[in-house]
Amino acid sequence: MSTNSLSGADVRAQARSGLLTGPTCGLAPDYLQANIVILPERLAGDFLRFCEWNPKPCPLLEVTDPGSWEPRNTAPGSDIRTDIPKYAVYRHGVLVEELTDIAHLWRSDLVTFLLGCSFSFESAMQRAGLPVRHIEERCNVPMYRTNMPCTPAGPFAGPLVVTMRPLTPRQAIEAILITSRYPNAHGTPVHFGDSTAIGISDLDRPDFGDRVTVREGEVPVFWACGVTTQVVLTQAKLEIVITHSPGCMFVTDQLA
């Protein structure tokens, strides 16, 4: 089955069975992909405010009831404990393990936040004939910490993280118009051109994901990234937080 014919349910089934343990970029391109954050209920109010005050990196798609592992609005019948290719488990701000199943860690006080992902607008870019370099090179999208601070809420504070896709200046303008139609997937870029202006000194050394080729005549174009939440959560040093591993998203049943 080609990646273009996959549904969100197909991708989740592959993750649940263990067939898919890597990045979901390019998979089920018609469906909205989501970053996930799972944390204790007592911190959910503060984190909700953080998302509301930082909508570019944290476009909120759904919040589950405490203890519920089913995102009923975006993927009814799914199981957030098994349907992601790879999870990252943090304890007191330290990444302690990456797992393909978190059922054994589930608790009745855990709340799941689903946040939109920029993978969701990439098929629209491709349909317009724009390159998506990490898909072409079969790797994960490069992600970088910036010097742009998020608006803090409670214990949650930290820098904006961005994804990068190289484009010519003309293609970048077209990409701005296309991605403006996807506010639930980070929307328009936050910057393009000189990366040092936002605190990125070396494009060949992303903080997350993989390096991609920037060809002659291209400029780096940066979009807000949901991995922002992972940096913020690490700095908050919470008792436990579970997220997706960078690039390994939850694919919903919602059309992009």
* φ, ψ at 164 (rounded to 5°): -130, 135
Q: Please name every residue paired with 158 in a beta bridge, in sequence order, or none if there are none.
A: none
Relative orientation angle of helices 119-127 and 169-179, to the nearest 10 degrees: 120
Give the max Cα distance, the chain.
53
Spatial contact of 28 and 96, defined as CB atoms under 8 Å apart: no
Angstrom distance (rounded) from CA 40 to CA 27: 30
Spatial contact of 61 and 8, defined as CB atoms under 8 Å apart: no
Q: For residue 217, what pLDDT is reported?
A: 97
Whether domain 3-118+236-255 has CATH 3.40.10.10: no
- The contacts of residue 148 (CB under 8 Å, 6+ apart) are 159, 160, 190, 198, 199
Q: Provide CATH 3.40.1640.10 ranges for the chain.
A: 3-118+236-255
State the architecture of 131-229 in CATH terms: 2-Layer Sandwich (3.30)
Q: Helix, strand, coil shares of the chain as percentages rounded to 5?
A: 25, 25, 45
Task: Using alpha carbons, select from 159, 154, 152, 156 the residue that is nearest to residue 208.
Answer: 159
Q: From the CB of residue 212, how many other CB atoms can be counted at a distance below 10 Å?
A: 23
Spatial contact of 229 and 56, defined as CB atoms under 8 Å apart: no
Residue 230: both structure tokens together: 């992972």
Q: For residue 4, what pLDDT is reported?
A: 61
Model pTM? 0.89
What sign has the CA pseudo-torsion 94, 117, 87, 139?
A: negative
Spatial contact of 60 and 52, defined as CB atoms under 8 Å apart: yes
Q: Provide CATH 3.30.2040.10 ranges for the chain.
A: 131-229
Spatial contact of 81 and 102, defined as CB atoms under 8 Å apart: yes
Residue 221: both structure tokens together: 């174009």
pLDDT block averages, 10 residues each, the chain of length 256: 76 96 90 95 97 96 98 97 97 96 98 92 92 94 97 97 97 97 94 97 96 97 93 94 93 91
Spatial contact of 224 and 144, defined as CB atoms under 8 Å apart: no
Residue found under tokens 């002659």: 216
Q: For residue 142, what pLDDT is reported?
A: 96
